[in-house]
Amino acid sequence: MQRWITLALSLGLALPPAVVLAAFAVSGATALATGQPLFWPAQPVTLTEAIGMHDTAEIVRQIALGANPNSRYDTWDILKRYQHVSVTPLEAAVATRERYLFEMLVAHGALVTPEDARTLHCFAVQEHAPDIAAYLAERFPPPASCEGVQMPW
């Protein structure tokens, strides 16, 4: 009886850590061999999805590798919960309300024309992004009205 209790106690102590240890050892070995772990590997994302996740490094990587910062990209379940939208990187930055992302995109080649500025300004007001609206207002006269402006959503 005593032996069985000792065995059960030893197993009780060792089993949960051993399972976790083995799982992460396999994941670690996979990471070292292939570059990505089994648990929580990097997921492929579009440029606008990277913006939605504030992933500055991924933004810079994709633009450096040829992604156009002025094109439209599909974005799933990030800017709009459970919805698919197609937006430009600058529109995605407005949706995050983060001025630093907007500025980073401009620094890496995103263009703000007077026509874009009007749309972006109206979109910034709609999305409650006053910092970005202020950034745009410093460079372009704010639109008198947003009537007729085609918003991303």
Partner 1 sequence: MAWMLGALTALALAGSVYRVPIQVADSLEVIQRVIPMPSATAAFIDGLHNSPTMLRPLKEVRTRLLVQAGEALGGRYHLVFRGYHAIAGAILIALFVWVCRARTWTDVAALTAALAVLTGMHTFVGLFREAFPTNHYLIVAVSTLATFALAQSRGGWLIDLAAIVLLASAALSFESGLLVWPVAVAAYASGLRGISKRGLAAMTLLVVLYAVFRVGYLGKQGAGVGERGTGFGAGALTEAEQIERFGNRPLVFYAYNVATAAASVLLSQPQVGRFTVASAWNSGSLPPVFIVQIGSSLLTSLLIAWYAISRAPAGTRRWREPAMLILGAVLAVSALMSYAYAKDEIISTAGVFYAVAAYVAIRGLIETHRVGVAFSPVGAAFSPVGAAFRRPTATWSAVLLVVISLTVTSAWAIRSAGLHFRLRHGAFEARAEWAYILSPTAPQTWPKDSHTRQVVSRMRDEALLHPTVAPAMLPKWTEQWWGED
Smallest gap from Cβ 30 to partner 1, in A, equals: 7
Nearer to partner 1, 77 or 86 (CB): 77
**What token pair was written down for 59?**
């933004």
Question: Closer CB to partner 1, residue 61 or residue 84?
Answer: 61
What's the closest the beta carbon of residue 121 comes to partner 1, in angstroms? 22
For residue 102, give Cα distances in angstroms to 42, 49, 75, 146: 24, 14, 17, 21
Q: Give the binding site for partner 1 (CB under 8 A).
A: 1-2, 5-6, 8-22, 24-25, 27-32, 35, 37, 39-43, 45, 50, 52-61, 64, 78, 104, 107-108
Count other Cβ atoms within 10 Å, centred on residue 99: 18
Which CA distances in Å does 66 have to 79, 109, 139? 23, 11, 27
**Cβ 107 to partner 1 shortest distance, Å:** 4
Q: What is the DSSP letter of 84?
A: E
Beta strand residue intervals within 24-140, DSSP E: 73-76, 84-87
CB of 90: closest distance to partner 1 in angstroms?
16
Q: Which is closer to partner 1, CB of 94 or CB of 122?
A: 94
